[in-house]
Amino acid sequence: MTVKNAYEKFMELKESYCDKSTCEYYAQNLGFFFDYLELLIGIPFEKIEVDDMRPNEMQHYIKYLRNKPKYENHPFKIGNSKKGSLKNSTIRIYTRAVRVFLNFLNNDLDCEIEFKKPRLPSNDSRLQLPLYDHEVQLVDELFSNSTENGLRNLCMIHLMLDAGLRSEEVIALRVKNICFDKDYILIEDSKNHKSRIVPLAWNLRIYIRGYLEYRIYSPDDHLLLKCKENIPINYNVMKQLFSRLRTKTGIDRLHPHLLRHTFAVSYLIGGGNLEFLRDMLGHSDYTTTRDYVKMANQYRMMDADVYQLDDIFFRHVK
C-alpha cells in the first residue's frame, strides 16, 4: 500500500468524527511529514510505499525538524525571522499528527512495520500570562458602547473573556443561542460535535442587548456581522481586530485564545472547581483543564490583579 492510499483512508476516518479545524491540522502537519519523505526517499509522494519507511522514522523526522530553518518556505518574510531553528513546542505539534497517523497504520491497517515510539524534545513553550484588570480596561476603552461597531467588537472580545468561547464558536454563534431569560449562552455542535451551556455575565448581556438594538433579526441569524455588509464575521475580521488591539494597547501577547485562557485562570482564582470549568470550556477530559490550576494557584498566592469574572460564575461556591 502506498503512503498516499493510507493517508486517504486515515483522513476519511478523521472526517467522519473530527471537526473541520482538526482535519485541517492533520492535513497540514502530515503534509510536512510527506515532504520530508519525498526528500529522504527521492521519489514523488504518490509512489512511496508504506514499507519504504523505517521503524524509527519518527525519530529521524524529529532530527530533521530540529535542523530545519525557522519559517523555511513561509509565505511571509519579515526582517530576520528566517534565522534560527524551530522551537521544541512547534516540533511537538508537527509530530503529534504523525504519531497518530503511524498508530493508525499499525492498529487499523495492520502494517507489518512496528513503528517505534519516539522520544520528543522537551516542551519549551512560554508561560501564557492571563490578562490583568487594567489591561482589559485598556482594551475596552478603545470601543464606544454607543455605536454598532463598538458594541460588536466588545461582544466579540467578551464572549471569549467572560464566557470562555473559542474564536470559531464566537463566529458561529447565532442570536437564538443567547438566552436572556435564563442567563446562559448555548454553544451548539462545537469541537468534536459537542454542545454546552455557559452562564451569561451581566456586562456581556448589556453589550449583546445594545448591539442587537441596531438591527432587525431572526433567531437563526448569526449574532455578529461585518460592518455595513450584513453578513457573518469570519476569522479574518477577528484577526484584523486583534492586530489593531496589539498596536493600540501595546499588549503584544494579546490574541483570541489569551481571552479564553484568562477566563479559565480567573474562574479558578475566584474559587471555581475543575469539573465545572472543564464543562464550560468544552474539554473532553481533564488533561488540558489541569494546566490552568498551577497558574491560578500562583496568582492567587500573589494576590495578582487578574481580570475578575462576574459573580454569576460563583453562585455555587460556598
CA dihedral 248, 250, 255, 259 (to 10 degrees): -100
**Farthest-apart Cα atoms in the chain, separation:** 66
Quick: pLDDT tens for 169-222. Answer: 999 999 999 999 999 999 998 877 788 999 999 999 999 999 999 999 999 999
Give the Cα separation of 54 and 155 in Å (integer): 51
85 backbone dihedrals φ, ψ, rounded to 5° = -115, 175
Rounded to the nearest integer, the mean pLDDT of the chain is: 89
Q: Could you give the strand order of the β-sheet that contains 196-199, starting from the edge strand earlier in sequence?
A: 178-179, 184-187, 196-199
Quick: pLDDT tens for 228-255. Answer: 788 999 999 999 999 999 999 999 999 9
Position 83 pLDDT exceeds 70 = no
Position 77 pLDDT exceeds 80 = no
Give the Cα separation of 186 and 196 in Å (integer): 6
Residue 132: strand pairing partners: 306
SS3 236: helix
Give the Cα separation of 122 and 111 in Å (integer): 29
Q: Which domains are assigned to the chain?
A: 3-107 (no CATH), 133-314 (1.10.443.10)
pTM, to two decimals: 0.74
Give the Cα separation of 53 and 72 in Å (integer): 24
| % of the chain beyond a pLDDT of 90 | 68
Contact of 105 with 1, CB cutoff 8 Å: no
Kindly report the number of other CB atoms within 10 A of residue 163's CB atom: 25
| % of the chain beyond a pLDDT of 70 | 93
Give the Cα separation of 89 and 292 in Å (integer): 18
Question: Which of the residue ranges 120-129, 236-245, 248-257, 259-268 would you say has the lowest mean pLDDT?
Answer: 120-129
